[in-house]
Amino acid sequence: MSAQGTLPGGVLPGKYRHIELEPPLGQPGCPRGCDRLLFSHREQRLVPETQGSAFPGTELKAELPLWILFEELDVLDEAALRGLFGKHRFSAVMHFAGLKAVGESVQQPLEYYKVNLTGTIRLLEAMNAHGVRNIVFSSSATVYGDPAYLPLDEKHPVGGCTNPYGKSKYFIEEMIRDLCKAEKGWNAVLLRYFNPIGAHESGDIGEDPQGIPNNLMPYVAQVAVGRREFLSVFGNDYDTVDGTGVRDYIHIVDLAKGHITALKKLKENCGCKIYNLGTGTGYSVLQMVKAMEKASGREIKYKIVARREGDVATCYADPGLAAQELGWKAAFGLNKMCEDLWRWQMQNPMGFSKN
């Protein structure tokens, strides 16, 4: 994605950064594989941010190979985006940046629309102005709303979202789709993530939520490590195997690898393509608790509480299209997801900033 890059690369999440997926000639490669670089949770460790953990940017430079350039900017800042695109020659962008807490989006819809929609429009404008017309976008299974059938394939109706976060993803998908139709030369891969969990197997990189975790597995891991007393399970009267909600959990490294295949797809001038990134298997909350008990060897206390508004009973992917067209398939199962998450949690019991 830079002048020397042999593969399209992208802009990583958050305070924008760019990478090359292959080192320039004569430079050593990424020691543990490029999945480390594409790891969305990595930046929470490495970069001081309003949304993530505070870690000095210098640490990022110390850990990454020298040929990786690092920039930090607000996606709403048009001048900064112009500056970035003026300074480097990208061949593709991976767009992860945005706000993503479902509950918060219900409380602060304008903030969510501003950051997610306006931020994306500014990015697309900057890309257009600089002739960069390849994008991979982090969309979400939330665009499907309440499933009309299962497993969810990409033909399932979208837009019936129950919260502004999901709607912002749906609107962005539509904007990118329209752009690809209207202007020749645009290619986009919209990746609908299911539920990414786990950590890099080194235990060095993992999700470090600030405050009370919004997602199930970081919360479960914090109970296992003794940071939280018990897990609240929202409802056990759904029509599922044990009454608790069922979701499609995907190892974060599988998700990262899905992005590499998406970048390769862009090179085929693919137009606008949409793929689910999931495993195709659903697990209930209580099955996840059991799996984490097995991985950690610890009891995880939980209490059943009332259902949470906006939750659906069951949601899992049909990942067949990604297998067929991207050659991508999730490799890791539930045990590996939990073992890797637990390793990270044990190495960072109070999160990165408290180590």
Instruction: Give me the residues that bind ligand NAD (CB under 6 A), please.
Output: 13-15, 40-41, 43-44, 49, 51-52, 74-76, 96-100, 115, 119, 138, 140, 193, 195-196
Q: Which member of 165, 193, 219, 302 is catalytic?
A: 165
Our CB check for ligand NAD shows the closer of 119 and 164 to be: 119
Please, are residues 246 and 234 in contact by the beta-carbon 8 Å criterion? no
The DSSP secondary structure of 96-120, one letter per residue, reads --S---HHHHHH-HHHHIIIIIIHH
Q: Which of 76, 150 has the CB closer to ligand NAD? A: 76
Type of residue found at 158: V
Who's near 135: CB < 8 A, 6+ residues apart? 92, 93, 94, 95, 124, 127, 176, 186, 187, 188, 189, 266
CB of 327 to ligand NAD, least distance (A): 22
Q: From the CB of 193, what's the least distance to ligand NAD, in Å?
A: 4
Question: Minimum distance from CB of 266 to ligand NAD (Å)?
Answer: 18
Active site residue 249: no
R_g of the chain, CA atoms, integer Å: 20
Yes or no: say if 180 and 264 are a contact pair by the CB < 8 Å rule: no
Tokens of 247: 């979701």
Structure tokens at 334: 């539930």
In terms of CB distance, is 23 or 206 closer to ligand NAD? 206
* DSSP character at residue 307: P
CB 143 within 8 A of CB 170: yes
Query: Positive or negative CA dihedral for 23, 25, 29, 35?
Result: positive
Task: Pick the closer one to ligand NAD by CB: 213 or 243.
Answer: 213
Pick 23 or 283: Cβ nearer ligand NAD: 283
CA neighbor of 204 nearest in space, from 26, 37, 23, 49 = 37
Reading across the β-sheet that carries 272-277, which strands appear in turn? 93-95, 134-140, 187-193, 272-277
Rounded to the nearest whole angstrom, what is the least distance from the CB of residue 142 to ligand NAD in the complex? 7
Return the number of the residue (9 or 196) whose C-beta is nearest ligand NAD.
196
Q: CB 22 → ligand NAD: shortest distance, Å?
A: 24
Residue sitting closest to ligand NAD (CB): 14
Spatial separation of the C-alpha atoms in residues 311 and 107, rounded to whole Å = 16
Shortest distance, CB of residue 341 to ligand NAD, whole angstroms?
A: 13
Residues with catalytic annotation? 165
